[in-house]
Amino acid sequence: MNDINAKRYLVLSVFIMTFVFNAWNVLLNNFIVEVGGFNGFETGGLHSLRELPGLLAFLVIYITIYIKEQSFALTSLVVLCLGVAMTGMFENVWGIYLSSLIMSLGFHYFETINQSLTYQNVSKEELPTFMGDVLSKQGLANLLAYFFVFSLVSVLSYKYTYLSIGISGLVLVLFVVYKFRGIKLISRPSSRKIVLKKNYTLFYILTFLKGARRQIFIVFASYMLVEKFNLSVNQVLSIYMATYLVNFLFARLIGRIVNVLGERKSLILEYSSLLIIFISYAYVENVYICIALYIADHFFFSMGIALKSYLKKIIHDEDISSTASISFTINHIGAVILPVLLGGIWISSSSLVFIIGSTLAFISVIFSLLIPSNPYIGNESIFSDKLEFKRG
């Protein structure tokens, strides 16, 4: 029963994070364009700045010396909610940057700790199915977030809409604290050093590429809907709702696909699909085709749970916390640098931004081919057995 409650606790925590973050995010492009007067370069700068805490995720290794991972995750959720509540109070570039940075601190540190706790409390056999269930609940959280925003934005200003989102999130956090007050998640002692291991090199590379691709999707695919096609808040909300309805309905299927195909084939399928989608983004002129690409993009990106499943199969227990922290830092190297650089490119050529994204997807396909069909500790890449043979 404690194992079941631990999983429920993890799922509900992710549900709250998803609800608050995506309610913040769905309004963001309209807010920064209509209120902040942002151009493409300032938009890229905003996303580079808000990804900075992700680059500093390795600090979690040291913070968890003084505070338990479970408590730190809850604290991070509170910071996330406070940052979102503050967002509408600032209507200039630097004020919006500040509130986004506070929100981002909570978001990224929660994501880092939650990943560590998930690896430690869910077995490698159950992980793809569990992550499929998490994706499904995230789809539901997004749908509820968008209905919530949709009901508020027509009667409230951006300021009070964001305040309502943040306060609602805090209430949900208090509910989790009360509902699961007796639950203690497994949190094993971990290395307090920043350690990069050769065994995980392929995972590090794929994680870096994932972070770079993700920013192009999150920042520029959604920004294009507003900047290029002049969609309103309600139209963007409708697209986001359709996107997460698809995720809600098919997320468990994604988990089963990963179980059946395995990590190697699943990631090859994901990256190949994203390659086609990014190329299509570069030349799309029809708003309905762009919307279809956006929904498909989000669906295939969800297959990234296969990368987490791959790590779970090759990682030693004592490396879980430190690797979770380091992987978030690696993931955000590109996330911090690319948005502001590509924001400058966007001003002169939006198509080139997506061509760069397709190039990253192609490189990802190449590296995913190096994953063995049956990964395990000691068999992290297709070269592992050959290396062992040479040593022998």
Give all domains of the chain, ordered by start, each with its CATH number.
2-181+193-391 (1.20.1250.20)
17, 80 Cβ separation under 8 angstroms: yes
169, 16 Cβ separation under 8 angstroms: yes
Q: Within a 10 A sphere around the Cβ of 385, how many other Cβ atoms? A: 12
The one-character DSSP state at 125 is T
Q: In sequence order, what DSSP letters do the residues of 192-247 get, joined into one string?
A: -S----GGGHHHHHHHHHHHHHHHIIIIIIHHHHHHTT---HHHHHHHHHHHHHHH
Tell me the two tokens of residue 201. 């090199």
Q: What is the pLDDT of residue 388?
A: 46
196, 326 Cβ separation under 8 angstroms: yes
Q: How far apart are CA 66 and CA 340, in angstroms?
A: 35
Task: Say whether pTM exceeds 0.85.
Answer: no
Q: What is the pLDDT of residue 392?
A: 42
Tell me the two tokens of residue 355. 């061509």
Q: What is the pLDDT of residue 168?
A: 94
Q: What is the pLDDT of residue 191?
A: 56
Cα 242 to its chain centre, rounded Å, is 19
Cα 288 to its chain centre, rounded Å, is 25
Can you list the positions of beta strands (E) in 114-209?
Answer: none
Q: What is the pLDDT of residue 193?
A: 65
List per-residue pLDDT tens for the chain, 392 residues long.
466 778 888 889 999 999 999 899 878 877 887 777 777 677 777 877 887 887 777 777 778 778 888 888 899 999 999 999 998 888 787 888 889 899 999 998 898 888 888 888 888 778 878 887 887 888 788 888 878 887 888 788 888 999 999 999 999 999 988 888 777 877 665 556 666 788 888 999 999 998 888 778 777 887 788 778 888 777 877 887 788 788 777 777 888 888 888 899 999 999 999 999 999 999 988 989 999 998 888 888 778 888 888 988 888 877 777 777 788 788 778 767 777 788 788 888 888 989 998 999 999 999 999 999 888 888 888 887 554 434 44
Q: Within a 10 A sphere around the Cβ of 157, how many other Cβ atoms? A: 12
